[in-house]
Amino acid sequence: MGALKQQQNSDSPGSDKMRNLDVPEYFVIQFQVPGYSMTQYFKMRDNAVDDKVFMSLYKKFCSGDDDFRNSRIKIIPNMVSGGGYMVKRMVGNKPALLARKIATEWYRGPNYIEMDIDISSSYAAGMILSAVIGVTKKLTLDLAFTIQGNSEVELPERILAAARFHQPDLQSKPFIEGQSA
C-alpha cells in the first residue's frame, strides 16, 4: 500500500498529526510535455504517520536538497494494455531513478513538495513520447513513484504516489481564446 493517495478532500482527521511532524502533507507531480502540462496532487494517508520507517525516509527526502531527492526519486512504469509491442518495449516496466535521465525541479511550500518533470529534456523520453502519442487513446499506463531505499533500514520501499492513465488523448488540445493557432 502506498503512503500517499490521490484525494480531493483535505480536511481529514490526520491533518493535525501531519502538521506536527513537519513534513508536507501533499506531494505534487507536474509533467511538462511540449504543448501540455499535467499536474497531479497526492495527499498523505492518515495512517502513514504510524509507519516510522517511511516517515523517517520521507522527512529526510523532503528536507534534503535537490541532489538528494534526484538521487532517490524512482519511477515505476507499467504498460497495462494497448500500445503494441514496440511501445511496450520502449516504455518498459523496470524501475528507474527518474532524475538521472530527465530534468527535474523541486519546490517546497508550507504543506507540499512539488516535482516538475520536463519530458522534453531527455532525448530518450522524447522518442518514447513521439512513439506513444499516436496510440495513447488505446493504452492504459500505470506510473508509480517511490523513494529509493539504500539501506536495510529504508526497506522495503513504499509507493509514494501512483496513477493510472487510461486512454488519454494527447493529440487533441483545447484552443484557448487569445492564443495563436
List, for residues 107-160, the tens digit of each pLDDT value: 999 899 999 999 889 888 877 777 777 777 788 889 999 999 999 999 999 999
Give the pLDDT confidence score for residue 104 in this predicted structure.
Answer: 96
In which element (H, E) is residue 31 found? strand 26-33
Give the pLDDT confidence score for residue 6 in this predicted structure.
Answer: 41
In which element (H, E) is residue 69 found? helix 66-72
What's the rounded Cα separation, in Å, for the pair 44 and 7?
A: 9
Give the pLDDT confidence score for residue 128 in this predicted structure.
Answer: 77
What's the rounded mean pLDDT across residues 54-81?
94
What's the rounded Cα separation, in Å, for the pair 4 and 159?
A: 7
Q: How many CB atoms lie within 10 A of CB 85?
A: 7
Residue with cell 525541479: 105
- pLDDT at residue 63 above 70? yes
Give the pLDDT confidence score for residue 147 in this predicted structure.
Answer: 97
CA–CA distances in Å: residue 72 to residues 5, 133, 165: 20, 28, 24
What's the rounded Cα separation, in Å, for the pair 139 and 133?
A: 10
User: Is the CB of residue 48 less than 8 Å from the CB of residue 59?
Assistant: no
What's the rounded mean pLDDT across residues 21-50?
90
Three cell numbers written together for 98: 527518474
What's the rounded Cα separation, in Å, for the pair 41 and 30?
A: 9
